[in-house]
Amino acid sequence: MGSMVTYYMGRVAKGGQLDSEKIIQAILNPKPIEWWGKGWSFFDAQRYHIREIDFVFAKLSKFHPEGEVVIADPDAKKEAIQMEPNLRIASSTFIYIPKYSGIIFTTHPNHIKEHQFGYRFSHIISNTYDDFFVDCTVNLISDLRTFAEKLSKLKGIYKINAKVNPPNPLFGPLWKSLKDYVDSRNSDSMLVREQAGDDAPLNTDLPMHVQKVVSQINTVPYLPPEPLPIGDAAILMAADGYGEGLVQGYQEGRERVTIKTSETNRNFAFDRDPDPVDLFDEACAIFDRIEADRHMEHGE
């Protein structure tokens, strides 16, 4: 095994007429995009079917459509600039696994950061279908222990914002009621915004709920006596990778703190140049562990 790199974990949210097969086809046959003079597209895509599970292994690459390289000429003792069309700048390895709505990917310093990967991936998918009734978003999966630790330091929560994309048919017990509501409205997504005044914080037990999820045992899920309020449920759904969430509050001394679910992301180390099946096996094991740890279930 070669050098190790970090692989980040996320979920791919689909909207409109977009489905998993269309995402796979867009990865295999993408329509490149241009962003600030640089090209972006998918390369070296391969489709696999292992243990009755489909997945695609590919690279997201950033390239210069009109690149230049410096050529050294020892005889003339000179250097010259030579045009090199579509010169690659940086590349990110990824695997898309529809079974989990899951995606894992690497990043590249200064060129492809976590959020940039999600934006460019989604843009290419949408562009491949000419943005016609398709919506694609990559949401990172939170590391709940880190998220819980950050929330525990807040003395009060004054703002909760979340955009969620409930999965189907998977659900988490703490946000099942919110998923059922969104499904009953025949909606792909939902925005939640709550903000308290300056005199008192929101009436929320979100830090306690997140800590109890972290502390629950494998055989017994944490289930509060009543369904969680919409804002709390939306943050937990986002933390599971089905949306984006933001919590704003105060620490000691009235210091304002903003905590995003995407900033405490789940990741793991693996080979920089992996065997696709080995990387797939590792990713599946971690996705399965996330579902088991958070007691996520499949509905009808």
Residues 213-240: tens digit of each pLDDT: 998 867 778 888 899 999 999 999 999 9
Residue 2 clears pLDDT 90, i.e. is over it: no
The rounded distance, in Å, linking the Cα atoms of 79 and 160 is: 57
> What b/e sequence results for 46-61 when a residue is b if at least 16 CB atoms lie within 10 Å of its CB, and e otherwise?
eeeeeeeeebbbbbbb
Mean pLDDT of the region 264-268? 91
Q: What are 275's two structure tokens?
A: 């065997």
What's the chain's average pLDDT? 91
What is the distance in angstroms between the CA of the first residue and the CA of the last residue of the chain?
42
Burial class (CB in 10 A: 0-12, 13-18, 19+), 15: middle
Confidence of residue 81 (pLDDT cuts 50, 70, 90): confident
Residue 84 clears pLDDT 80, i.e. is over it: no
Partners of 199 in the β-ladder: none
Residue 44 has a pLDDT of: 97
The rounded distance, in Å, linking the Cα atoms of 140 and 197 is: 30
Task: Give the rounded percent of residues in the chain with a pLDDT score beyond 70.
Answer: 97
Residue 274 clears pLDDT 90, i.e. is over it: yes
Look up the pTM and report it: 0.88
Residue 65 has a pLDDT of: 85
Parse the chain into domains and list their residue ranges.
Answer: 4-62+88-140+266-298, 144-263
Mean pLDDT of the region 245-267? 89
Of 23-37, 59-73, 199-213, where does mean pLDDT reach its minimum? 59-73
